[in-house]
Amino acid sequence: MGSDDQGNNDVGRSGFTRRGFIQIMGTGAVSASLAGAAIAARSKPVPPEKVMDAENTVKISLHVNGAQHAVLVESRWTLLYVLREAFGMTGTKEGCSRGECGACTVLIDGIPRYACMTLAVEAEGRRITTLEGLMSGEQLGPVQNAFLEEDAYQCGYCTPGQIMAVEGLLRKNPTPSLDEIRIGVSGNLCRCGAYTHIFRAAQKAADLKKR
């Protein structure tokens, strides 16, 4: 969330418009829930056999925010690169690109992981959730609203990753203690040092999700 968001007076529990969100959500949102259910039914999704030459692109299908997206990828492209550069989903941020900051955190099968350390082809057959996927139409999700209400950021660059880490934590543990929250976001750095507010936002998000 950048400065434009913080300048918006109409923020709060009711949520607000995130520009550019609609252009991402265009394709295939309807067929998505069916595909999601089929994948969830398998206890341990094992991806299909695959062979890719170096530097040639191969068509794969990624299940992102409830929709199947076909995309041409090189074997060396990370999930982070494909989300941002191929799908235009810039909610997921590139920070260190070496698994040490957490700005690129997404959920894979509901579990937080670093998109910078994940090859796109390795995410085939998995359910990927990005920051954009936490919204319902124009409405922010509960974790996003909690971060706004608790002012849980300064520059905002780490915020999408923090929100995804908290979302993943609450899906697994809806009523975390402060210690569990601290561990839950311990894979996400905030150089502004907004940690106290982030912990508070996580607690508020747990409350908001229960409503």
Partner 1 sequence: MLPSFSYVRPETVKDTVKHASARGAALHAGGTDLIGCLREGIMDVDKVVSLSALADLYGIRETADDGLTIGALATITEVAENPLVRNKYPGLAQGASEVASPQLRNQGTLGGNLCQKPRCWYYRGEFHCLRKGGDMCYALAGEHQFHAVFGHDRICVITHPSDTAPVLAALGAKLRVAGPDGGKTIAVENLHVPPRDNVLTETVLGPGEVITRIDLPRPAANLKSSYRKVRARRSWDFALAGVALALEMDGDRVENSRVFLSGAAPIPWRSRSVENVIRGRRLDDKTIAEARAAIVENADPLPGNTYKLELFKGVIEEELSAMGRPE
Interface residues toward partner 1, by CB under 8 A? 44, 46-55, 74-76, 78, 81, 97-100, 102, 105, 111-114, 116-119, 121-122, 165, 183-184, 186-187
Euclidean distance between CA atoms 208 and 145, whole angstroms:
9
Q: Are 89 and 71 in contact (CB under 8 A)?
A: no
Hey, which residues does 78 pair with through a beta bridge? 119
Nearest distance, CB of residue 123 and partner 1, angstroms: 10
Residue nearer to partner 1 on the CB measure, 5 or 122: 122
Nearest distance, CB of residue 27 and partner 1, angstroms: 26
Residue nearer to partner 1 on the CB measure, 4 or 49: 49
Nearest distance, CB of residue 45 and partner 1, angstroms: 9
Euclidean distance between CA atoms 88 and 24, whole angstroms:
7
Measure CA 96 to chain center.
Answer: 17
Residue nearer to partner 1 on the CB measure, 116 or 148: 116
Residue 202 exposure: Cα atoms within 13 Å on the Cβ side: 31
Residue nearer to partner 1 on the CB measure, 74 or 149: 74
Nearest distance, CB of residue 17 and partner 1, angstroms: 30
Euclidean distance between CA atoms 200 and 151, whole angstroms:
9
